[in-house]
Amino acid sequence: MNNILVTGGAGFIGSNFIKFISAHNGATIINLDLLTYAGNLENLKGINSATYHFIKGDVCDSALVNTIFADYHIDTVVNFAAESHVDRSITQPDIFLKTNVLGTQTLLEAAKKHWKKLPDDKYSREYKAGVKFLQVSTDEVYGALGKTGKFTENTALAPNSPYSASKASADLFVRSYHETFGLPSNITRCSNNYGPYQFPEKLIPLMINNCKTDKQLPVYGDGMQVRDWLHVQDHCKAIYTVLQKGISGEVYNIGGNNEKANIEIVRLIIHNLGKTDALIRYVPDRPGHDRRYAIDNTKITSELGWSPSYTFEQGMAETIKWYLDNQVWLDNIISGAYTDYLNEMYTTERL
């Protein structure tokens, strides 16, 4: 792991991961990010410039991706780049297909070309030593759970939203490049992340920001949908563990053992900010809304020795404080285009 290509490194998890790697490993990091609405270079302020390079560009741009592999002698890819918001995938599915599926396949093809010992031999499955492609996926590819049970790595894929369908498709391409070409790879499937630098369209930062400014808190449906929350630092540590110890071709689920109903989280934020339930506004449900996600993380804990270190209480207290302390970061985001998005998403009929 000398030269890591991190895609989508200006987003929420990618920027946390770049900081994590900088602190734990001397590798050179190349961050390829298109800086869509979700990409924000402010997330990376203070990063060590001697080992870090930023390139603004599209993971679907094959010529650019190949140049980066050649120029920086890339030996590791961690693919975060994606359209990541389910609500947006309902209104604009095509961009999810393009970035999440074609982008991943473009990166896989470049990795195969640059990492194969004999690039022109289509039957050769031999690769240079130490190379790995890590695809950052999601538990949403498994679809929805009922009241009981958890997702294991053997749970059948059953994505329900255009977002999760695109992530599942990307996973299948990664699998196929391993099975057909022998590309050294892993797929990680994590549950909902929370922590600093998350774009405030997502549940936790949206609710903190609305609550702070006494805006209504839009709870979809009955608010009893369950997510299994994972602190972003625990996620970064898990990805690093899989890079170092993951068996090629394997999938690893990553979860924080923190199942919470959405309404519990909204109430926790209200309580923490000293507000009242009067701010809660039940709004029409998200179409195709998955009822419950929960991760069985036995494989990564028992085989690779990773386990989450944050309790939900500690992680949420720190996270709420971070958003309150970083008003300037939020203010810079909550402007122009983001405000237009909010107005469209939470129209007067919905609120």
- Single out the segment in contact with ligand TYD by CB under 6 A; choices: 31-39, 95-103, 215-223, 316-324: 215-223
Q: Which amino acid appears at position 23 of this protein?
A: A
Dist CA 315 CA 195 (whole Å): 7
Contact pick of 89, 186, 209, 225 for ligand TYD (by CB under 6 A): 225
Dist CA 102 CA 180 (whole Å): 18
Burial class (CB in 10 A: 0-12, 13-18, 19+), 278: exposed
With tokens 């207290």, the residue in question is 317
Q: Which amino acid appears at position 165 of this protein?
A: A
Asked if 220 touches ligand TYD (CB under 6 A), the answer is: yes
Asked if 203 touches ligand TYD (CB under 6 A), the answer is: yes
Asked if 206 touches ligand TYD (CB under 6 A), the answer is: yes
Contact pick of 159, 218, 246, 308 for ligand TYD (by CB under 6 A): 218
Instruction: Give yes or no for a contact between 17 and 47, defined as CB atoms under 8 angstroms apart.
Output: no
With tokens 């900088």, the residue in question is 22
Measured over the CA atoms of residue 62, residue 64, residue 68 and residue 71, the dihedral's sign is positive
Q: Which of 216, 292, 226 is nearest to 263 (CA)?
A: 226
Contact pick of 192, 233, 258, 319 for ligand TYD (by CB under 6 A): 192
With tokens 């299994």, the residue in question is 228
The 8-class DSSP code of residue 101 comes to I
- Single out the segment in contact with ligand TYD by CB under 6 A; choices: 150-158, 169-177, 212-220, 335-343: 212-220
Q: How far is CA 235 from the centre of its chain?
A: 9
38 binding partner (options ligand TYD, ligand NAD, none; Cβ < 5 to 8 Å by kind): ligand NAD
- Single out the segment in contact with ligand TYD by CB under 6 A; choices: 35-43, 94-102, 127-135, 217-225: 217-225
Active site residues: 139-140, 163
User: Applying CB under 6 A, which residues contact ligand NAD?
Assistant: 7-8, 10-14, 32-36, 38-39, 58-60, 80-82, 84, 99, 103, 136, 138, 167, 190, 192-193, 199
Nearer to ligand NAD (CB atom), residue 116 or residue 165: 165
| Minimal distance, residue 40 CB to ligand NAD, in Å | 7
Dist CA 181 CA 37 (whole Å): 35
Nearer to ligand TYD (CB atom), residue 92 or residue 244: 92
Query: Which residues bind to ligand TYD, rule: CB under 6 A?
Result: 86, 192, 202-203, 206, 218-220, 225, 227, 262, 286
